[in-house]
Structure 1
């Protein structure tokens, strides 16, 4: 039987043309911010959070400080990265505290953000609407049998209900898909149907990252060809959709290939940890190889007065002082990489 990947070169050529017909020849790094490693669900079989402690004490310990999140947001802004989405384990915040956090991030970034925190009800969406441009549904896979196995406590239907409400409120919708969980190319029609039926304007294609102590610990991540097939097929069938390719530090050599397949930008790369290191330079070269201009930088710190950048924020002075301390720690590590 002929594999669908046999036609990949022609498919990618077509997808690249469709991309350039609908978008400029640019790309960027997109940073998602995670606010906690605690999750109420903790049984998604691929997820790192499923390996974390289940006690209530960890609910607080697993949550990052507000100043850490805001310092990271400020770096995203001045490095000219895109803010991917704000995410974390379900149940780590109560509703009012989360709205306050999102409001502060909105102040620092200066624009509305995407959030990915599980399915939300209409009233929750209305609370967040002043600071949020869109909601992300962690669908992971459209193959129902696979989904029931890997995400037994995270059904798809509540996300679809959320998309109906968010659309009514004029918000954007996005989904995440993890390739390598057991789906096949034959599942693409179901993905296309979801995109079209639920007004999905953005999709994140990640490749499985096998975490220790999970069901997928010994699994092989998907090849770059397989990830490219899904990106290219989606680009051709949904020309104007925003497509992110998720890569890890050991997969930077596939960046140009996935850009040629029609992806808009790059995510999942641990950019703060490895800022200015060899793999960061390699990503920038990969973007050039794909004839894309990169808007932000993974290798050069901007020459700005960081203390002044914090002082200009309309936040209380105590919080600003804490942000400065955390920001200096981030910058110290990043500067060390550049030496």
Structure 2
């Protein structure tokens, strides 16, 4: 099916047809296992801080000392151990521009690889020093967010598309996998998929993470609705049909868990964007597992297995943070 055929199908709202085809392609190329993904944040500061939709854009004026917005490194590493215990992937390390130096990020990635046994993806801004990274890094993510060039320039004025392209090209030259993030609901149209598909082909992108707009107070989008689940699913399905081997991760928030089943059936390999420590052991966590099960897929990782949460490796410097995370999850049980 050509680009225009899937785009026309989306515009004509033939969503179920797209989903059916995409689901078959996904099973043929990827199997039936769905992963739980966790973006691990390094900091709440971004020195650029002008993406129109971003929570960090609302925090920049309030943060007088950016160093205080950095997370404790042992807390970051403890989160990696929790993810290992419960079978979640670390989707990527993420943080605003200017939070950590490249060498600091490298050392964090090395420690996380030691804990989880897997290299990590980075989503830490436009970076010109990728050659400092080695086997601790699996891939580099460009936060493209919007595929149409003019809209991207307007919404993300300090993240030039050309710089993202240059970074991803260098990442490929160095042997890293390449990914991008895309947010739906920012004013794009189905026709804009031509720009996305061209970008994926030209840059030989390995992974796309789709998110639905999560309107943040204090941004121009605070009163905008999230995009329709079927529009989201149709966009994912169209992308899957065009790129059978692409890894696709889809993000949804706690108030929209009903979108998980349709997104899985549309071609998602993994699901992300959950507040892990608020949802583990709750009815919300069970709902995630049920959504995947009723889509006829098997879930890698758990939202409900308390034994896996409690039992794991011990690290003297990390244990106070690990214990705090576990205790936070166990408190959720009282809410049921």
Taking structure 1 as the reference length, the TM-score comes to 0.93
Paired residue secondary structure (1:28): strand
1:82 paired to 2:89: yes
Q: How does 1:117-128 map to 2 (within 5 A)?
A: 117-121=124-128, 124-128=129-133
Q: 1:3 to 1:230 in 2, by over 3 A?
A: closer
Q: Distance in 1 between matches of 2:60 and 2:144?
A: 24
Q: 1:24 to 1:212 in 2, by over 3 A?
A: same
Residue 22 of structure 1: CA displacement? 0.4
Aligned-partner Cα distance in 2 for 1:65–1:151: 28
Q: How many residue pairs are counted as aligned between the two chains?
A: 327
One of 35, 38, 47 as aligned partner of 1:40: 47
| 8 Å Cα contact 1:249/1:279 also seen in 2 | yes
CA contact (8 A) 1:38 1:58 kept: no
Pairing of 1:93-242 with structure 2 (within 5 A): 93-121=100-128, 124-242=129-247
Distance 1:43 1:302, change over 3 A: same
**CA drift at 1:54:** 3.9
Equivalence for 1:58? 65
Structure 2 CA distance, aligned partners of 1:260 and 1:174? 22
Whole-Å Cα distance in 1 between the matches of residues 310 and 18 of structure 2? 47
Contact kept, 8 Å, 2:39 with 2:91, in 1: the verdict is yes
Match of 2:3 in 1: none
Q: Distance in 2 between matches of 1:59 and 1:279?
A: 34
Matched-pair contact (CA < 8 Å) for 1:79–1:302: no
Maintained 8 Å contact 1:4/1:185: yes
> Alpha carbon RMSD of aligned pairs, Å?
1.7
The Cα shift of 1:56 comes to: 7.0
Give the drift of 1:180.
0.5
Give runs of aligned pairs for residues 182-331 of structure 1, distance below 5 A. Answer: 182-303=187-308, 306=311, 309-311=313-315, 320-321=316-317, 323-331=318-326
Extract unaligned runs of 5+ from structure 1: 312-319
- Structure 1, 31-40 or 47-56: larger mean CA deviation: 47-56
